[in-house]
Structure 1
Amino acid sequence: MQIIQPHYHAIARTAQDYERMAMSGVVAVCEPAFWAGFDRRHPETFIDYFAQISEFEPTRAAEFGIRHFCWVAVNPKEAENKELTNEVLRQMPEFLDKPTCLGVGETGLHKSTPNEIESLQAHVEMAMKHDQLVLIHTPHLSDKAHGTKTVLEVLAGMDVDPEKIWIDHVEEQTIESVLDAGYWAGMTLYPVTKCSPRRAVDILEKYPREKLLVNSSADWGPSDPFTLQESVVEFRRRGHTLQEAIEVYHNNPCRFLGQNPKWDIKPITVSEE
Structure 2
Amino acid sequence: MSADRQLLFGVYFDALRMEDVIARCRTALVTRSRMLLGVLNAAKVVHMRNDPLLRNSLIDCDLLLADGQSIIWASRLLRRPLPERIAGIDVFEGLLTLAHREGRSIYLLGARAEVLAKLQDRLSERFPGLRIVGSHHGYFQASESAAIADDIRASGADMLFLGITSPKKEIFLSAYGGSLGVPILHGVGGSFDIMAGLTKRAPLRWQRWGMEWAYRLLQEPRRLLGRYLVTNSVFILLTAREVIAPARAFQSTKIATHPTPIGSLRH
What is the TM-score normalised by the length of structure 2? 0.33
- Bigger relative contact order, structure 1 or 2 (CA pairs below 8 A, ≥6 apart): 2
Structure ranking higher in helix proportion: 2
Q: Which has the larger radius of gyration?
A: 2
